[in-house]
A and B are shown apart, each in its own frame.
Chain A
Amino acid sequence: MTTIRRFCCNDLLRFAAVNLDHLTETFNMSFYMTYLARWPDYFHVAEGPGNRIMGYIMGKVEGQGESWHGHVTAVTVAPEYRRQQLAKKLMNLLEDISDNIDKAFFVDLFVRASNAPAIKMYEKLGYVIYRRVLRYYSGEEDGLDMRKALSRDVEKKSIIPLKRPVTPDELEYD
C-alpha cells in the first residue's frame, strides 16, 4: 500500500520513524538539499495509509561516456514496513528512471562488506559485486561496489568484476 512520490523538504520532518533506525544515516541539510536541487527524480518517498512515511530512496545520475550511471546513495525502510519488498519497489523505480529517462548504462551502489543481509538483498535484485573498495567507510571497513547493467549496456560490459580491489582515492566519483 504504497504511494511513491517525489521526496520533498517537509518529509525531512516526517521521516523520524525511518531514520531513528541506527543503520540509517541522517545527513546534514546541504547533503539532502543538494540531492533535491540536482536530482529530484532520484529522491522518492513511499507513503502508506494514515500518511505514514514507510521508507525512501535517494540517488543521483552522473559520469561520462560509458560510465554514465545511476547511483543509489541511500535506501531505507521503517521497521514497521519491512518484509514487504518495499526496498525492491524503490530500487526498481530508480533503475527505471536511470534506464528509460536518463539512458544510463548501469546503476551502482556501495554497501558495507559486513552487511550480509543487504548484500543478499541486492544480489536478489540483480546486482553483482563489481569491486571491493578498501577502507571505504570512515577509513575502517571495506565497501563493496555493486552494479546492475541497464538496457543500454547491451553487452553488460559495465558489470564485469574487477580483479583487484581499489582504494577510495581511485574512485571516479564521490
Chain B
Amino acid sequence: MASKFGLAGGIPERKVRPIWDAIDSRQFKNALKHVSTLLAKHPNSPYALALKALVLERMGKPDEALSVALNAKELLYANDSLLMDDLTLSTLQIVFQRLDHLDLATGCYEHACSKFPSNLELMMGLFNCYVREYSFVKQQQTAIKMYKHYQQVGEEKERFLLWAVCSIQLQVLCGSGEDKLLFLAEGLLKKHVASHSLHEPEALMIYISILERQAKFGDALEILSGKLGSLLQIEVDKLRMQGRLLARAGDYTAAADIFHKILESCPDDWESFLHYLGCLLEDESIWCDETVNDPVHPPKFVNDQVSHLTDEQFDGQISIASACVQKLQADTINNLIRCPYLATIEIERRKHLRGKGNDDNLMDGVVQYFCRFGHLACFTSDVEMFVEVLTTDKKAELLEKLMKTRDSLSAPLTKTLGLSISFFKIKQLLLGDMSKSSASDLEVSCVQMFEMYCKNLPLSKDMDPQESMHGEELLSMICNILVQLFWRTQNVGYLVEAIMVLEFGLAIQRYVSQYKILLLHLYSHCGALSVAHEWYKSLEVKNILMESILHHILPQMLVSPLWTELNNLLKDYLKFMDDHFRESADLTFLAYRHRNYSKVIEFVQFKDRLQHSSQYLVARVETSILQLKQNADNIEEEEGVLQSLKCGIQFLELSKEVGSKSLTFNEDLQSRPWWTPTSEKNYLLGPFEGISYYPREILTKDRETSLKRVIEKKSLLPRMIYLSIQSASASIKEHVEVNGSVTPDIISELKLLLECYAQLLGFSLTEAIEVVMGFSNGERSCVVSDSNLIDWLNFTVFLNAWSLSSHELVQPDGNGCRPRIWNILDSMLEKYILEKVRFQEPQLCSPWSGMELLMQLVTEPLAWHGLVIQSCLRSCFPSGKKKKKSGLAYQSSMNLTKAITDSVVHLSHVLEDVLTWITEWNKRPEDEHLENILLLLRKDGHNDGPGEVFHILETFISSMNDAELGDRISQSLKSWSPADVFRKMMTGKLKVLTEFSAICESKLKLFNSMKQQIAQL
C-alpha cells in the first residue's frame, strides 16, 4: 500500500505518507489521528475521507467505515470539479471490498469512467471491478473499449484484446454464454493478428484453445505450424499441442509421428507413450474432455475401447509400437527410465483387451519389470493396472514366477529389501481380498514381514531422523492384513495388534503420514476418537490440504460429542475456503496483468470447483447444526442462534437449490485405508465378504446423489427447529387464550417442510405419519434402520410440534390432553436410547458405531424435542404479569401441563439411566481395562488368534542391540511401552464418554429445572 503515493485530490504526498505508514505497520489509532488532522484542513476531500474509512474498517468498525466511505462517494459524485483520480477510487475500492460491497466500488468506477471516458487508468480500474464481481460480459465490453482507445500498437494493445477474449471464453466456460460467442472471439483475434500479429505465447495458447473448442483443428494446426508457432519456446509443449490437435482432427498417422518424436526426446514420458499408442490404434476415447473425466480424479488407465481396426491393421500397428518401444529400450541404457519397459506390458494389455493376448508375454513383461524396478517403492502401483486382466489362476502363476525371480536376484541389502517389499505388496494385490488364504497363512505373512522390518532396522541407523526409513511400508501392509483378519474373525485382538504395530513404527519414525492415517481410522473405529483427532492434528493439515484430507476425520467428528474440536475443524476449514473466495478474483486479475491468460480461465474454474465442493456445503450446514446442538438446553440462546441464521431461511434456500447444483468431490481417496474407501462406507461394520480393494474406482455419481439428499435434509433442520418452537408456543397460547388464533403461516410452512422431509425419507407425508403411528404398539418398523433412525426421530419431533397447533391430524388420546404422537415420540426416544445403552458392551476396543448412534439420539432428536417442551413451558409462563385465566382456559392449560410433566419425567429417567451406565463404565479400575486388552493379545499356548506379531514385537524390544540399531532408534524404543498405548486408547475413549456425560448432565439439569417450574404452576 505504501506505493500509493501521489498528489491525490490536491493533497500533497508528504501529508499522506504518515497515514499509509501507520496503516502498513498496523498502528491504526495513530493512523486515525493523522487522518483527523488531514480532514481538519481538507474536510471535503474524498481521498481523506476514503483514508478515514479504510482506517476505521481496519480498526474493526465496519458501520462507521461504511458511512464515511459513502460520504466520500457522495462528494465524489456531487462535485464535478473534483479530480477523479485512481488513487482515491482504488482506496475506496479497498474499503468497499473489505466491507463486502463490491457493487459500490464498481459504481464509483463506472461513474468516473462515464465522466472521463478516455482515461485508461480508470478503465483498468473498472475492468478490475468487474473481474472481482465475475461479470464476464461487462469485463468484455470494458476490455474492448480499452482495446479501441489504445492507439499504440504492440504488446499493450494485444493485452486488452486478450482480456476481452478471455472474458468471452469465461462466459462460455463458466457463465451462461453460448458456444457461438467463441466465433466472435476468434474473429477479434483473426483481425488483430492480420494487422498486428501476436507477441505473447499465452495469447497464442488462448487462440488455439478457442479454435480447438470449436473443433477447428485444422485452423489451429495451421497457426501452430506458421510463424506464430515460434512463440512457444518450450518445444515439447508445442509438440504435445500439435499431436493432440492432429489426433482430434482424425489424422492419427501424423499424430502418432509427433508423439513418436516426443518419445525420442523424452523416452520416459508415459503420457506421450499412451497417446502414441492410442493414435496408432485410432482410439479417440483418450481425447474426451473434462466433462467426461474429472480432472481431479482422472482414470487410472485407458479403458478398453473396441477399436474399429481390422485384425490385420491392429496387428500391424501393434508391431510398429513394439518396434518403437524396443528401440527406446535399446537407446536408453540408463536403467532408471521405466517407460519403455512398462510400455511393453501396456502393449500386451491392449492385445489382451482385443482378445489377442498372450498371458505368458504379459507375465514375462511384469517379471522383467520386476527384475529392473522391483526394488522401487512404486513398482506395485506401476503394474497394478496390468495384472487386472489376468485370471485368478494366472495371477497365482505370476506370483510363483515373481517369487522365483526374487529368490534368484542378488542385490545389495537395501535393494533386496525393496524387492521383498514389492513382492509382498504385489502378493496382496494378486490375491485380491485374501479371502482365499487361510487365516494362519495370513498370520505367517504378517510375522515374516514384521521380522523383516526388525531385521532391516539397522540399515536406517545412520539416517537423518527426518528421512523415510527402509522398510517403512511393511508395517502398513501388516496393518492391512490384521484388519482383514479382524473382519474375518471379529476378534478385536487383531485391531489392537494393528494399532500396536503402527504405534511401534511411529515411535521409531514419528513422521510417517501413512501410519498416522491408518491409526486415526483404527482409533475412530474403536471409539478413541480423541486419540484419532490427535493423530490427525499431527499430520499438520492446512490450507488446500484441508479440502483433500479433512474427510479422514470430519465424518466421525460430526457425530461425536467432541464439540470444541469439531468446531475448530469446521471453523479453520470454512475460513480457508471463504478467504480463498474473497481473494481469488484479485489473483485472477494478477494473471490478467501478467498476461498469463490461460491461468485466468483456470483460476475462475478452480474457484467454481471449490464453491461447489460437497465438503464445503456439508461443513456450512453442519456448523450451524453444531451451534444449535450446543445451545439447545437454553431456548433463549437457541433463539439467538436461530436469529443469526435468519431463522433457518438461508439453509432452506440451499436445500431447495442443492438438487440442481452439481457437486464436486475433491477428497484424496487414495490415502484412505482399504476398509473404508469413502467416508460413507466402512466394510468392518458389515459381515465379512470378499472384496477386491485394488484398484479402487469410486462411483462419484452415486456419491453425489446420496450426498445431495443428506445436504437437502440437513439444511431443512434449522428452519424446522425454528418453526417447531413457534408452533409449540402458539399451541399453548391457543389453550391459554381460548379464542386466540394460531399463526396459520407457521403451521402451513411446517407442514410443507414435513412433506419435504418425508419425501427425503422416501415417503409421502401421510405414509410417513402412518409409519410413526405404527410405533405406538412398540414394534420395530421395517423401514427404520440404524442408518435412518435419527432422521425418523427428527421427523417425529417436528411432526409432534406441528400436531400441537394443527388440528388437521391428531386428536388427544384418552389420557387427558396429551397428544398421541407425543406419547409415541417419548417412548421411541426411550426405547432406542436404552437399547443402545443395553447392547453396548463396556469393552475397550469394541466397535463404536452403536455409541455414535446413542450420542446422536441425545444430541439431536432428544435435544430438538427438549426445545419444543421448553417452548411449551415458556408459553405457560407468559413473561410479565400473569393473566387471570378463565375456568376453561385454566383446565385446558392444566391438561397440557400434565402432558409436559409426563414427558419431562419420562425423559429424565432415560437420561439418568444413560448417566448411570457411563458412571459404571468409568468406575472400572484402569488395571482391569489394561488387563482385558492384554488378554486379547496373549497367546498362552494357543496357536491361533491374534498376538503373534505382538509377541515378536515384545521380544524384539526386550532383546534389542543398541549398537546395531544406533542411539536414536534404541533410545526412542526404550521410552516406548505397549502399556502406554493401551492407556492412551482407554483415556481417549473415556474422554469421549466424559464429554458425552457432560452433555447428558446438562440436559438432565434442564429437565429437572423444568420439573420445578411445573411444580410452581
Q: List residues of chain A with CB under 8 Å of any chain B CB.
A: 1-6, 8-10, 12-14, 16-17, 19-23, 26-30, 32-34, 36-38, 40-41, 47-52, 79-85, 97, 100-101, 116-117
Query: Nearest Cβ distance between residue B702 and chain A, in whole angstroms?
Result: 20
* A14-B599 in contact given A2-B268, A50-B301 (Cβ < 8 Å): no
Q: Are A29's CB and B270's CB within 8 A?
A: no
Residues in B262-307 with C-beta less than 8 Å from chain A? 266, 268-272, 295-296, 298-301
Q: Which of B121-129, B356-364, B498-506, B665-673 contacts A (4 or more CB under 8 A)?
A: B665-673
A to B CB contacts below 8 Å, 19 in the list: A1-B339, A1-B382, A5-B237, A8-B602, A9-B605, A12-B544, A14-B296, A14-B668, A23-B466, A29-B543, A29-B576, A36-B602, A38-B590, A48-B378, A48-B381, A48-B382, A49-B385, A79-B468, A84-B378
| Cβ A19 vs Cβ B670 within 8 A | no
Known: A1-B270, A97-B234. 14 other contacts (CB 8 A): A1-B268, A1-B382, A3-B271, A10-B295, A10-B296, A14-B668, A22-B511, A36-B591, A37-B603, A48-B270, A50-B381, A52-B381, A79-B472, A100-B233
The answer to whether B543 touches A26, judged by C-beta atoms less than 8 angstroms apart, is yes
The answer for the CA separation of A52 and B541 in the assembled complex, in Å, is 20
Give the CA-CA distance A33 to B548 in the complex, in Å: 18
Q: Which 5 A-B pairs have the closest CB atoms?
A: A9-B606, A37-B591, A3-B271, A1-B338, A20-B513
User: How far is the CB of A89 from the nearest CB of chain B, in Å?
Assistant: 8
A40 contacts which of B464, B543, B599, B609 (Cβ < 8 Å)? Answer: B599
**CB-based contact A13/B296 at 8 Å:** yes
Q: Is the CB of A22 within 8 A of B301?
A: no
Residues from chain A with a CB closer than 8 A to the CB of B583 are: 29-30
- In angstroms, how far is the closest chain A Cβ from the Cβ of B365? 14
Q: How far is the CA of A164 from the CA of B623 in the complex (A)?
A: 54
Q: Which residues of B527-564 have CB atoms within 8 Å of chain A's CB atoms?
A: 539-545, 547-549
Q: Per-residue 0/1 for B580-597: is the Cβ within 8 Å of any A Cβ (1 yes, 0 no)?
A: 100110011011001010
Question: In the complex the two chains form, what is the Cα distance from A7 to B768 in whole Å?
Answer: 52
> In the complex, what's the smallest C-beta–C-beta distance from B515 to chain A, in angstroms?
11
Nearest residue in A to B517 (C-beta to C-beta)? A20
B684 sits at the interface (CB 8 A): no
Contact A2 B233 (CB under 8 A): no
Measured between beta carbons, the chain B residues less than 8 angstroms from A38 are 590, 594, 596
Which residues of the partner chain B approach A8 to less than 8 Å between Cβ atoms?
A: 602
Q: A22 touches which one: B381, B540, B545 (CB < 8 A)?
A: B540
A94 to chain B, nearest CB (A): 12
Other-chain residue from B467, B545, B591, B594 in contact with A26 (beta carbon distance below 8 A): B545
Q: Is the CB of A50 within 8 A of B296?
A: no
Could you tell me if B544 and A29 are in contact, using CB atoms closer than 8 angstroms? yes
Asked if B459 is an interface residue, CB under 8 A from chain A, the answer is no
CB distance from A171 to the nearest CB of B (A): 19
B602: A residues at CB distance < 8 A: 8-9, 36
Q: Kindly state whether residue B707 has any CB partner on chain A within 8 Å.
A: no
- Distance of A40 Cα from B237 Cα, bound (Å): 13
Chain A residues contacting B381 (CB-CB under 8 Å) are 48-50, 52, 80
B188: CB under 8 A from chain A? no
Asked whether, in the complex, the Cβ of B342 is within 8 Å of the Cβ of A17, the reply is no
Contact assessment for A16 and B549 in the assembled complex, using a CB-CB cutoff below 8 Å:
yes
Nearest CB in chain B: distance from A164 CB, A: 28
The interface residues of chain A lying within 8 Å CB-to-CB of B584 are 29, 33
A16–B270 CB distance below 8 A: no
Decide: B668 and A16 in contact? CB cutoff 8 A: yes
**Which A residues are in CB contact (< 8 Å) with B378?**
48, 80-81, 84
Distance in angstroms between the alpha carbons of A28 and B384 in the assembled complex: 34
Q: Are B377 and A17 in contact (CB under 8 A)?
A: no
Closest B residue by C-beta to A1:
B338
Determine which of A12, A48, A79, A84 lies in contact with B336 in the assembled complex, contact meaning CB atoms within 8 Å.
A84
Using CB atoms, name the residue of chain B closest to A79.
B468
Contact A37 B539 (CB under 8 A): no
- Residue of B295, B377, B378, B472 most packed against chain A (CB within 10 A): B378
Which residue of A1, A4, A26, A51 is within 8 Å of B299 (Cβ)?
A: A51
| A20 neighbours in B (Cβ, 8 Å) | 513, 539, 545, 549, 671
Interface centre among B234, B301, B544 (most CB of A within 10 A): B544
Cα A84 to Cα B671 with chains together (Å): 22
Chain A residues with CB below 8 A from B272, complex form = 3
Contacts of B605 in A (CB 8 A): 9
Central interface residue in A20, A38, A40, by most chain B CB within 10 Å: A20
Given contacts A16-B545, A20-B513, whether A49 and B298 have CB atoms under 8 Å apart is no
Alpha-carbon distance between A81 and B382 when the two chains are bound, in angstroms: 11
Complex CA distance for A101 and B233, rounded to whole angstroms: 7
Chain A residue numbers with a CB within 8 Å of B539 are 20
Bound: A2/B470 CA distance, A: 24
- Give the Cβ gap from A121 to chain B, nearest Cβ, in Å: 12
**Looking at A16, A52, A81, which has the most chain B CB atoms within 10 Å of its CB?**
A16
Contacts of A26 in B (CB 8 A): 541-545
Docked complex Cα distance between A40 and B606 (Å): 16
B376 interface hit (Cβ, 8 Å): yes
Contact B511 A40 (CB under 8 A): no
Report if A50-B376 is in contact (Cβ < 8 Å); known contacts: A20-B513, A22-B511.
no
Mask, B359-380, CB within 8 Å of A = 1, is 0000000000000000011100
Interface residue from B385, B467, B596 paired with A36 (Cβ < 8 Å)? B596
A7 CB to closest chain B CB (Å) equals 10
Hey, what's the 0/1 contact readout for B224-249 against A, CB within 8 Å counting as 1?
Answer: 00000000011001001000000000
Closest to B240 in A: A5
Contacts A12-B544, A22-B540 given; does A40 touch B270 at CB 8 Å? no
- Tell me which residues across on chain B come within 8 A of A36, comparing CB atoms: 591, 596, 599, 602-603
Chain A residues whose CB sits within 8 angstroms of the CB of B549 once the complex forms: 16, 20
Contacts of A83 in B (CB 8 A): 376-377
A52 to B300, CA, bound (A): 8
The chain B residue sitting closest to A93, CB to CB, is B234
Residue of A whose beta carbon sits closest to that of B695: A50
Q: How far is the CB of B301 from chain A (nearest CB, A)?
A: 7
Kindly state the separation between the CA atoms of A21 and B467 in the bound complex, as whole angstroms.
10
B240 to chain A, nearest CB (A): 8
Contacting residues, chain A, for B596 (C-beta < 8 A): 36-38, 40
Min CB–CB distance A123 → chain B (angstroms): 16
Q: Give the chain B neighbours of A80 by CB distance below 8 A.
A: 377-378, 381
- B540 — nearest CB in chain A belongs to which residue? A22
> For A10, what are the chain B residues with a Cβ–Cβ distance below 8 Å?
295-296, 606, 609
Distance in Å: Cβ of B499 to nearest Cβ of chain A = 20
Roughly how many angstroms separate A101 CA and B591 CA in the complex, as a whole number?
Answer: 20
Flag if A22 contacts B543 (CB, 8 Å).
Answer: no
Distance between Cα atoms of A81 and B380 in the complex (Å): 12
Which residues from A are CB-within-8-Å of B377? 79-83
Q: Please tell me if the beta carbons of B670 and A34 are within 8 angstroms of each other in the complex.
A: no
* Residue contact A22 to B342, C-beta cutoff 8 Å: no
In chain B, positions 779-793 with a C-beta closer than 8 Å to chain A are none
B542 vs chain A, min Cβ distance (A): 6
CA distance A99 to B310 in the complex (A): 49
**B803 shortest CB reach to chain A, Å:** 47
Cα–Cα, bound, A2→B668 (Å): 21
**Which residues of chain B have C-beta atoms less than 8 A from A82's C-beta?**
377, 468
In the complex, what distance in Å separates the CA atom of A40 from the CA atom of B595?
11
Q: Per-position contact with A for B321-350: 1 when CB-CB < 8 Å, else 0?
A: 000000000000000111100100000000
In whole angstroms, how far apart are the Cα atoms of A10 and B602 in the complex?
9
> Is there an interface contact between A51 and B300, defined as CB atoms closer than 8 Å?
yes
Nearest-Cβ distance from residue A19 to partner chain B, whole angstroms: 6
Query: A1, A6, A30, A101: which contacts B342 (Cβ < 8 A)?
Result: A1
Tell me if B464 and A117 are in contact (CB < 8 A): yes
Q: For A32, what are the chain B residues with a Cβ–Cβ distance below 8 Å? A: 544
Question: Is A2 a contact partner of B376 (Cβ separation < 8 A)?
Answer: no
How long is the Cα–Cα vector from A32 to B298 in the complex, in angstroms?
Answer: 22
- Contacts A1-B270, A83-B376 known; A41 to B606 CB distance under 8 Å? no
Smallest CB separation, B945 vs chain A (Å): 34
- Select one of A21, A33, A49, A85 contacting B587, CB under 8 A: A33
